[in-house]
Structure 1
Amino acid sequence: MATMKDIAKLAGVSTSTVSHVINKTRFVSDEIADRVNQAAKSLNYTPSALARSLKMNRTRTFGMLVTTSTNPFFGEVVKGVERSCFQQGYNLILCNTEGDDQRMQSSINTLLERRVDGLILMCPTLAGEHIDAFDRFPDVPVVVMDWGAMHFTCDKIQDNSLSGGYLATQHLIQSGHRQIGCVTGPLNRNQALMRYQGYQKAMQDAGLEIKPEWVIESNFESDGGYAAYQQLHAQETLPSAVFVCNDMMAMGLINAATNQGVDIPEQLSVIGYDDIYIAKYMTPSLTTIHQPKYRLGTAAVEALLNRLKNQPGEPQVVHLEPELVVRDSVRAYQDRA
C-alpha cells in the first residue's frame, strides 16, 4: 500500500508538502499540487480516514439515536439528517434504542467512545434523564429533538406543538364544529402535552365546552387511535369532530370508525398532526398539521456544525413553525362558521 513518502519520492517534493496537498491544510502552488495528485493517482493512494481523524481530531462522523416506532415521521426526519450529513461530507451512525433506557445509555456510550464529532438524540425517554457519559465527554456537542427539559447541556430543535394544537382545533372551529374531542399522545411527553394544551386554549378562546369523555390519552401509534375510537363509540354521543394528535393515531381511529359504519367526514371529522407522507393517500385524504420533518433533520445537523465551529456559548433553541394542510377529512358547516 502506497504511503505519503512514496508519493513524495515520485513527485519530487517533501512528505510535508504531500500532506498539505492531500489534507488541504496549506496553500501549495497549482503546479506542485498537480504533481502530487498525479503521483497519488498513479500509486493508487488512498488516504487513511483513521490517520486523518487522529491528526485533525475529527472523525467527520455524527451519531443519531432514535426510538423504534411504526410512525414514518421518524424515518422522514432521519432522511433529512442523512442527506444533510452527506452534503456536508459527514458520515452518520444510526442507533435504534427500541424504547429501552439501558440500550439508549449503552448506545450513547458506544458512539462517544467511537469519537463521533456530535450526537443527535430523538428519544422521548431522555426527558429528565442524567446521562453519565456526557460528563466524560463534555466537548462533544449534542442536539435534541424537543422532548422536554434536559439535565445535560444541549441545543434543541423545537416544533411549536402548542401552536400546532391550536391551529388544528381552530380549523375545526372555523369549519363550524362545536362538539370537538381530542385524542392525545402520552401526556408525560412534552410534545403530547403541548398539543393538548393548544387544543384546550383554542376551545377556551372560542367559549366551547371541553367534555372529559371526549378527551382520550393514547400512545401515538395506530392501535392507540383504533382503541381511542372504541372509547368514543362507547359514549352516549360522538363529537362532530376530533383532533387526533398525530397522523398514525388518526389512521387507526378512521379505520375503527369506518369499520363501525361511521362516514368520515360526514358523521365524524378528523384532523391529524405531522403530515406524514402517506397522509394525502388515505381515504379520505387527511387534513393535518404539517411538521417540517426534513427541515428538523437538516436543522439538527446545522446546529452541530455551528457548535463545532463555535464551541462556547449558551445552548441554542431552533424553533420551527407548524402549518395547516387542508384535505378531505374535515367537513365544513358553512352556515355555522
Structure 2
Amino acid sequence: AQSPLSQAVMTEVVDAEHRAFPGHQKQLDQTSGAANARDAFLSTTHGTYANPADTRAKHGEHVAPVKGGTPGAQGKAVTLRIRHRLLQSGSSNLIANFRRSLRDADTSKAGSINVQELQRGCQLSSAPLDDVEARVLIKSLDKAGTGLAPVEDIVQTVRGEFTERRASLADKVFTLLLRVCNGSVTLGRVLQLYDAAQHPDVVSGKTSLEAAAAYFAAQWDVVDAGEVIERSEFVRVYADWSFEINSDLAFEIMIRNTWHLSGGEGKSENTSCRRVQVVHTNGRVTVEEIKDDLGVGEDADAIRQNLINQGIRDIAKIEFTIGKKK
C-alpha cells in the first residue's frame, strides 16, 4: 500500500492528469522492477531545462497550450491576448502599426508569415507572444498546412468585426468626399478636408488640434499627397481606427463631426455643420443647417446653393452664421 504522503499521492493532488511537473523526482517513484541507474537520478527538472528552448518548441507542436477544444478556439484565445496587449501598450494607431510591424517582419515579402516572424512583428508592436501562442495562432489561420498565415488574416482577426453601422458611416463619408472632390479623392484633399478641430478629444481638451491631425495622417500607408484614395482603402482605415473606439455612439459622433456629415440622432447627432439664420421673402426668420457642408467654408454662394438644394428657395437674406466653417 502507498504511504498517505507518497509521491504518487502528491502527484495526484498537484496534477490529476498525472503529467510530470518540475518538482517531480524520478528516483523517488515506486517501480515494479529495477530502474536504469542513469534514469533513476534524472529529475524532470533536469530533463526539461537542459535545453529549454528546444524543449518548449518540441512540446509546443504537440501539446494544447491554450484552452480550447479546436485550433480555432485556441487561436481565438491568443487573439484576445494580443488585443489586450495592444490596448495596454499605450501606443496609438494600434492596428495600422500592428499591420506595418507584421509586414516588416515578413522576410519573404510575400504577405504570409511563419511563427518566428509573427513573434518578431508582435514584439515590435509591444504585444509579445511566446512560442506556444504564436504556433497556436498560425495553426488556426494556416488553411494550406504550410506553416504560414496571411498577414491580413492575422490583422483582421485581431482587429475584430467592423460593424455594419460603423462601416455604413465610413461609406457615406467617402461618398461625400467624392462629391466634394469632383470624383477623385486624393490623400492631400483628405488631409485638407479632415476637420480635426471637431474631434471629440480636441473639443474636450484631452488632446491638441495638432496631435489629432497628426494621428489621422499617421493612419495612412500612402505618403504622396497626389495618391488617389479608393473607397475600400478609406473604409479600411476607419475599420482599423474602430478597434480603439469601444462605443458605436462615440464612433458615430467622431466621424460625423470631423467630416461634417449631417444626421444622427440624440447624442450622435452632428453638431459641426454650420447653422445659418435665414430671412425669407415673407419676412419669416428661421435657423437652417447647411447639410453636409464639408468644403463649403466661407463661400456665400455655396451656402446659398446648399439651402436651395434642400428646397429652401425663398431666401431674402442670410444674416449670420452659427457653427463651424470648415
Length-normalised TM-score, structure 1: 0.32
Instruction: Answer 1 or 2: which has greater strand percent.
Output: 1
Larger RCO (alpha carbons 8 Å, 6+ apart): 1
TM-score, normalising length: structure 2: 0.33
Query: Larger % of helix: which?
Result: 2
